[in-house]
Amino acid sequence: MPKLNENYLNVQDSYLFAEIARRVRTYEEKHPDKAASVIRLGIGDVTRPLTAGAVASLHEAVEMQADPETFKGYGPEQGYAFARNAVAEYYGRNGVKVDPDDVFISDGAKSDTGNITELFSKDNVILVPDPVYPVYVDTNTMDGKQIAYMNGTEKNDFLPMPDNSVKADIIYLCSPNNPTGACYNREQLQVWVDYALENEAVILFDSAYEAFVSQPELPRSIYEAEGAEKCAIEFCSLSKTAGFTGTRFSYTVVPKELVFTASNGQIMSLRDMWNRRQSTKFNGTPYIIQYAAAAVLSEEGMKECMENISYYMENARMIAETLRRKGISFTGGVNSPYIWFKCPNGMESWEFFDYLLENAQVVGTPGAGFGVNGKNYFRLTSFGTHENTKKAMERFEKLL
Ligand code: MLT
């Protein structure tokens, strides 16, 4: 009999968004007359199609794959040089210097933030904000690793800072934060980087929502903080920036400065370890996708993406207005596509989820899915269509 990884006994039966989908399916089966009117503002999945530039590049790349002269088989596991350069240039236009050699192309920030745990042993102190994207907690739990939580609450604007109560080895940060939409400022990020440098810790920085930062004084990359290349890995993705949730392209920056001493005194480079991991377990993002992603990351490509982002931010504005009119305080929606608010009438988040689904046929995400501090909170996404967001807000306003 195989001995199983019993750490799986310590995670919930299903992943948050799978559980939401299951509950919505059950509701629709029970109420077939209402199924058509269900509006999904739960998982942050985009509704705008790919930009014209992305589509044209995809077609072009398909043609190349049809021609023996330009056909490509296996590509470099780290990503093609043109894609890594496009990422570095994108950073450069935002004032951040990144070496293309430190860029690893992948198929999702979800995969990479989950897989990166393999580089670290079990006896680390891992600090994770609560609430936050559930993948960090689930993947470390599956690995049997111990997690220490740092509270994100209204008191600290959902932006926990180091408090020296634990000496962390690995710190997850997500800014703009999923689910709260809160975004660290430069000074706060510098405090985190200084803390990591002082404690020889590594920051795993998820910047998947950086393109939504609208206040120019706010940082979009951990590498805007001095010394971050010596202590931080950054994960980013085109899922939300360019509507690639179904197309799949992400990038992870592991600077060559990230080196630590092994127990036998040998120097180990996280970049080299990640390179070893990826070349062994990953065969790369498809050429066609990398080709389109490089076009998307160009100045012209990004202009098109920003039109879609503005579209979504108009939805965020609609949601925010409704909450304001209802006197419900919230965070997010300015530098993030997510809006996070306290459930009305003292309800708990799964209770409010059912209430909203049953009475308004609107699906959101219960805050409890992001950590215990989310127990009484709820997240709505602005990734719907204008029409559906407007309809959902009308129903919301009527109900509450
Ligand atoms: C979310 O809704 O939090 C995200 O869409 C999930 C993800 O990016 O994997």
Series of mean pLDDT values for 10-residue runs along the chain (400 residues) = 97 92 96 96 97 98 98 98 98 98 98 98 96 97 96 98 92 98 98 97 98 98 98 98 98 98 97 98 98 98 98 98 96 98 96 97 97 98 98 96
Q: Is 119 within 8 Å of 143 (Cβ atoms)?
A: no
* Beta strand spans in the chain (E): 39-40, 103-106, 126-130, 147-151, 170-174, 202-206, 232-237, 250-253, 259-261, 267-269, 330-332, 338-342, 362-363, 365-366, 377-381
Residue 237 labelled as part of a binding site = yes
Cβ–ligand 1 contact at 178 (below 6 Å): yes
Helix orientation angle between 287-296 and 81-93, rounded to the nearest 10 degrees: 20
| Rounded Cα distance, 395 and 362, in Å | 8
Task: Report the candidate in 173, 194, 171, 195 with the shortest Cα–Cα distance to residue 184.
Answer: 173
Structural contact between residues 398 and 326, judged by C-beta atoms closer than 8 angstroms: no
Residue 131 in contact with ligand 1 by CB distance below 6 A: no
**Which two structure tokens, joined as six digits, stand for 325?**
């009119």
pLDDT of residue 297: 98
CA distance 22 to 18: 6
Q: Look up the pTM and report it.
A: 0.97
Question: Does the Cβ of 21 fall within 6 Å of ligand 1?
Answer: no
Q: What pLDDT does 267 receive?
A: 97
Ligand 1: residue whose CA is nearest its atom 9: 110
What is the per-residue pLDDT for 165? 86
Determine if ligand 1 sits within 6 Å of the CB of residue 44: yes
Residue with tokens 């800014």: 175
Name the region of 164 (left: φ>0; alpha: ψ -120 to 50; beta: rest). Answer: left
Q: Is 75 annotated as a binding-site member?
A: no
Q: Which helix (H) or strand (E) holds 190?
A: helix 186-199
* Atom of ligand 1 at shortest range from CA of 178: 3
108 lines ligand 1 (CB under 6 A): no
- Count CB-CB contacts under 10 A for residue 266: 8
Amino acid 164: pLDDT: 82
User: How far is it, in rounded angstroms, from Cα 20 to Cα 293?
Assistant: 30
In the block, residue with structure tokens 């942050």:
44
Q: What is the pLDDT of residue 13?
A: 86
